[in-house]
Amino acid sequence: MKSYEKLIELIISLILFLSYFILPSNLNVIFLLIAYIIVSMDVYKEAFINLKKKEIFDENFLMIIATIGAFIIKSYEEAFMVMFLFEIGEFLADLAVSKSKKSILDLLDLKKEKVTKLNGNKEEVLPIEKIKVGDIFIVKPGERIPLDGEIIEGDSFVDTKALTGEYKPRKVQKKDIVLSGFINHTSIIKVKATSTSTTSTTARIMKLLEEVEEEKSQTETFLTKFCKIYTPVVVFMALFIGIFFSLVTKDYNTWIYRALVFLVTSCPCALVISIPLAYFCGIGNASRNGILIKGSKELDTINEVHYLLLDKTGTITKGNFTVTKVEPINMTKEELLKYAASAEKGSIHVIAQAIKDFNKEKLLPITNFKEISGKGIKCTINKKSILVGNKKLLEEENIDVAEVKEVGSIIHISINNVYAGYIVVSDEIKPSAINIKELKNKFKDIVILSGDNKEVVENVASKLNINTYYGNLLPQDKINYVKKYQENDKVMFVGDGINDAFVMKVADVSVSMGIKGSDASIETSDIVLMNDNLTSLKTTLEIAKDTKRKVIQNIILSLSIKLIVLVAAFLGLSTIWMAVFADVGVTFIAIINVINLLIKKY
């Protein structure tokens, strides 16, 4: 039911209830009964649905039993107010969840997109589902970019807030990658689609949002199991109090009333409503900050992490590589670059792209191309055997490799098993990576794991004041280090590349980069930083900590007040109004407590 329809129901039922106090006695009970029927329809409907599923004992069942009992002993006002306040609690919870969902969906402005496809010079407006990878489309100023793609013509400023949570416009130009969800601001751009409507960044985020709603945290799972035991125990205890003591004392009204007070007090509404709501509000606030957390289970686990392990390239550094040195042996720099760029033309690695971009010569045709993960390229050019890669690759082929003391990624080249020289490719540290040192007090250790040579990793680590680092690692080596640290405590791994996807599956919590991260790493990871900003790690930790604190506060608040009122109910010291406060009143307080998670600024 839509929220405004529910609100109308609540208002109508309240007006009918107030009429109870001013109408003649022969009419007022009828009006109150109608008010009760209106406000309780959803509760009865939900209880009936659960009954068909053989899930009898839930909060709806408790509400029905308590209010029917109140009618039997002629506590009409209490019967209505118990149900009315329960429904207000449900309404506020639904409102908070809707607001949280809206905060996520509004960022993406999700709707059926139309795409202006180019066929030669002719423009054709098509549904987004009709666009294939490789199609060219244009995006005019003010329009949302519908699909991920590479700009092939034009430059403009784009608003990335939909994905990153940041309002700062970003300049894009030819060869830059733009993502679905960005808003084009200043000029027309032509874009070559690199995704379809089902594989775009927006589509992936929608898929992740569906997973968010399906996933349950350990706390929620425990709560579900707890309620399955707790609810029938409470019902039978209330029946025992009402029946046994009524028969013993012959004071039926008093002990049935106390049993009803016991029943209403025992309703676990505050926990059932506020705990899932807390996780959804935490996830909603994270999304507003450009952080996509895939589920409440992941949000819980973040609080248990004590080791932060980070990939270097594309994670700590920008991944914008450029050639800084070319050192040939027995050939010109241009010739060495041409061989290396030609060999790398089949690779999508960022270092390969840097070499190809730096080369000005025409590429040579290659055959027998083979990319070896973590090592480099083997291929044949002009009937010559070519190796382009790291030191390990050439040493495996028994080729003597020069010792190079350079800061950067060293790419060695051999031609016909003869060493031909090396190329140095360097990267820049992200400005946001400087803030990693602020996380030192939150982890036992911060570690860099990189496939780059140790000297480069050491250089980056020293600039970030990180003491533990490892270089020259293959994906399997990274996995082994994650497992090693897991022997002591839980591990968070942050990466961006295809090879990081395997490591992410092993880590307790995995984080990927949303803009430059590979599809494999984004789909495998538990958390996606849509702005590629490592400062968001601190925000993620703070949101997880706040969410956990709110959950614990609500559990302690709810159970302690209920315990006090339950004891008082048995002793005849509490009324049904106190029971209503112990149930619905505490639920209100719990909801207000967790809604703060949705609006808090980080």
- Which backbone phi and psi does 177 adopt, to 5 degrees? -95, 130
CA-angle at 338, arms to 335 and 340, nearest 5°: 110
Q: What is the distance between the terminal CA atoms of the chain, rounded to a whole angstrom?
A: 33
> Which residue intervals of 109-178 are DSSP H helices?
161-164
Residue with tokens 């949570």: 165
Write phi, then psi, for 385 (nearest 5 degrees): -80, 125
- Return the ∠ at Cα 128 (arms to 127 and 133), rounded to 5°: 130
Q: Which of 184, 5, 197 is nearest to 98 (CA)?
A: 5
- For residue 408, the one-letter residue type is G
Chain centre distance of CA 256:
48
Strands (E), 331-434: 366-372, 376-381, 384-389, 409-415, 418-426
The backbone region for 159, taken as left when phi is positive above 0, alpha when psi lies in -120 to 50, beta otherwise, is beta
Residue type for position 395: E
Beta carbons of 572 and 256 less than 8 angstroms apart: no
- Cβ count within 10 A of residue 351: 24
311 catalytic per annotation: yes
The CA distance from 560 to 239, in Å, is: 23
Annotated catalytic residue: which of 311, 496, 526, 583?
311
How far is the C-alpha of 24 from the C-alpha of 44, rounded, in Å?
29
| Helix (H/G/I), strand (E/B), else coil: 421 | strand
Which residues belong to the active site?
A: 311
